Amino acid sequence: MPIPNPDYPFKKVPIPEPIRKDGAGASDLGPRDIARDLENPDMLIPPVTDAGNVPNLKFSFSDTHMNLYHGGWSREVTQRELPIATTLAGVNMRLKPGGVRELHWHKEAEWAYMLQGKARISAVDQEGHNFVDDVEEGELWYFPPGIPHSIQGMEEGCEFLLVFDDGSFSESHTFNISDWLAHTPKDVLATNFGLEIKDFEQLAEKRKFIFQSEVPPGIESQTIKGPKGFPPEGFSFNLMAQKAIKTSGGCARIVDSTNFPISKTIAAALVEIEPGGIREMHWHPNNDEWQYFIKGKGRMTVFASAETARTFNYNPGDVGYVPFAFGHYIQNTGDEKLVFLEMFKSNRFADISLNQWMALSPKEVVKDNIDASPALMAALRKEKWPIVK
């Protein structure tokens, strides 16, 4: 019987059943999560081309544990939630206006993309260079391992995605300044800073992590003239100012060490696909791919070799993952633009297009390998190898 569509509350849609048009399958008698089945039509009724046992390549931030603080919240998708994701892990974080992610550092590199709002970031490197900048929607930052930094929400607050170059990373294992001082004898603190023990009686007794403060003043008042000045390689980057690779099906903006030199372990592309468009069939020759879906609806079939493939559906807030060298595409299945990030533990963005490979191979070999039609062979001769079509 019809039920309310979670995307359009005033419309009715049939309850989906795991039955193909050819009659394969049977109705699901329940119990079941119908709303979840509506979100995953190609998982409920896999295409006939799916085969074998490809592991799960999807996890939603909506299914994670939410950590709530007075200054905002955080949640993470790591190898714990998505076991196959060994190369990268992600944290979704929200800071209220004035909310602070306290002074801290990591053993891992931190790459971040601002989803909404504006934040002030600060950092100091091992050479004594200091850095303060305001980062807005569409901009990003990168802090190498061990570099101390902080993040604070500006007037409207902010929400951002953090990506770390280790799948087993967890925010609970970061090095926080309040945590360190709380676990250092006060007589040692007094000696270290040349003060009296009484001067440390008011210190926080445990880590603050995310706490509420006042919205920071103008950036000029917080830009401290350090002994070395700004680092020669800045920690922030305006991705939306990067020239996009545009095609009829959408566009892509790439950021890696070639245009953001300090980002030595994470490369990324922000991809936009118009309705009816597709991120063409391809694979990556350098590392696994970690995806974050920002807007729209999409699906991806991952080809894992040895006659195995599996199709997944993705919605905003979902994380996707493609193991090294697995073939795949990403298709816009909705009626609005599909926007997502694809990221790699690498200093360079690299992919190999199926279309390009076929077009640059001897035509007789291609034709004989796949029994290609004349129309396909003609199309390959015109191929310009766009990222999205």
Domains 70-237 and 242-381 share a fold: yes
pLDDT confidence of residue 2 = 52
Per-residue pLDDT of the chain (389 residues; tens, 9 = 90+): 455 555 555 457 789 999 999 999 999 999 999 999 999 999 999 999 999 999 999 999 999 999 999 999 999 999 999 999 999 999 999 999 999 999 999 999 999 999 999 999 999 999 888 899 999 999 999 999 999 999 999 999 999 999 999 999 999 899 999 999 999 999 999 999 999 999 999 998 889 999 999 999 999 888 877 777 777 778 999 999 999 999 889 999 999 999 999 999 999 999 999 999 999 999 999 999 999 999 999 999 999 999 999 999 999 999 999 999 999 999 999 999 999 999 999 999 999 999 999 999 999 999 999 999 999 998 887 766 667 76
Distance CA 145, CA 284 (A): 25
Integer distance in angstroms from the first to the last C-alpha of the chain?
Answer: 37
**Model confidence over 86-129: pLDDT tens digits?**
999 999 999 999 999 999 999 999 999 999 999 999 999 998 88
Distance CA 50, CA 67 (A): 37
Structure tokens at 60: 């939603």
Closest Cα partner for 222 from 136, 320, 120, 305? 120
Q: b/e string for 232-249 if b means 16 or more Cβ within 10 A? A: ebebbbebeebebeebeb
For residue 7, give the DSSP letter: S
Closest Cα partner for 329 from 372, 388, 245, 380? 388
- Helical ranges in the chain per DSSP H: 34-39, 41-44, 177-182, 186-193, 219-222, 354-359, 363-370, 374-381
Closest Cα partner for 135 from 270, 237, 261? 237
Say whether domain 242-381 belongs to CATH 2.60.120.10: yes
Residue 52 in 3-state DSSP? coil
Positions marked catalytic: 342
**Model confidence over 5-40: pLDDT tens digits?**
555 554 577 899 999 999 999 999 999 999 999 999
Closest Cα partner for 330 from 369, 367, 281, 285? 281
How many CB atoms within 10 Å of residue 350?
13
CATH class, domain 70-237, is: mainly beta
Q: Are strands 149-164 and 99-105 parallel, antiparallel or unpaired?
A: antiparallel
Compute the residue count for the chain: 389
Q: b/e string for 49-60 if b means 16 or more Cβ within 10 A? A: ebeeebeebbbb
Distance CA 148, CA 164 (A): 15
Closest Cα partner for 323 from 146, 88, 100, 124? 88
For the purposes of burial, counting CB atoms within 10 Å of the CB of 221, is it exposed (0-12), middle (13-18) or buried (19 or more)? exposed
pLDDT confidence of residue 385 = 64
For residue 250, the cross-strand partners are 247, 273
* Domain edges within the chain: 1-39, 70-237, 242-381
pTM to 2 decimals? 0.93
Distance CA 95, CA 210 (A): 8
Strands of 23-148, DSSP E: 58-60, 67-69, 72-77, 89-95, 99-105, 110-124, 130-136, 139-143
Evaluate the CA torsion angle 303, 320, 114, 222 in order and state its sign: negative
